[in-house]
Amino acid sequence: MVLPCFVCVDTGFVGVVQMFGKYSSTREPGCSCIPFPFASCQTVSMALNQLECKSECKTKDNVTMQVNTVVQYRILKDQVETAVFDIVHPQAMMRAEVDSILRSTLPSMDLDDAYSAKEKLMEEIMTSVKTAMQDFGYDIVKVLITDLVPERSVLTAMNEINAARRQRDAAIERGEADKVLKVKQSEGDAEAKRLQGVGLAQMRSAIAQGFKDSMETMQESGMSSQESMHMMVMTQYLDTLKEFSNGKASIMVPHGGSGAKDMQGQIRDGSVASQKM
């Protein structure tokens, strides 16, 4: 006796009906009726699934590494019969395709090239897995390489190399900075000395001009040239002693009551000698 049996299919699934063990039809989400016990119904998810793969590979420079890959796939609704009955272990088949591509491609690359060729590897895996699974009702949506994990010793060595390279670059930059600083300091010292010389020359020129003007003024007042020179030297001598007395430091200057007379004699002798020449 055939009894009607109600089956309920959830949203995101389809019901696959078998009559006497043979595929009969599919049922959409909702409540359906099938003839029991001659028919049975199993639900198949139409949602996007994700398969994680871990592949052990070796690069061209003999570095063993683990490649973590993610395959995102779904069953095609119009090929549910093929996806359910024509393939037993679809996930295992996808893993085999991923391993095949990685183990045939990575041995031709160095470790550094493997990191920079992730896009190329993902495209090759995507093409291979999609071609292999499309005949069985599976649509490969995306393939991602989530991580490349070399051996711990290799990873430590890579970090040390990078750290040494960065330290070297930092040392070079510090040296360049010190070089620029020293060059600028030298340029500043040279400019300061040049300006100091210019200032000293201008000061001496101004002093000489002042002496000249003073001599001319004294001569215009009726003093002779020897008397003007004598007065100028004595004035400078007394100004110098005044500066010494006002300074913070102390020096010993031989000086006595006859100092002015001695100075006068030296100036007179110098004047006479200059006139005889």
* Structural contact between residues 69 and 123, judged by C-beta atoms closer than 8 angstroms: no
Handedness of CA 259, 260, 261, 266 (dihedral sign): positive
> Does residue 172 carry a pLDDT above 80?
yes
Average the pLDDT over each of 39-43, 89-93, 255-259, 266-270 and give the range with the smallest value: 255-259
Distance between CA atoms of residues 150 and 157, nearest Å: 11
Mean pLDDT of the chain: 82
- Confidence (pTM): 0.56
Distance between CA atoms of residues 80 and 45, nearest Å: 10
pLDDT-derived band at 125 (thresholds 50, 70, 90) equals very high
Q: Is 143 exposed, middle or buried (0-12, 13-18, 19+ CB in 10 A)?
A: buried
> Does residue 251 carry a pLDDT above 70?
no
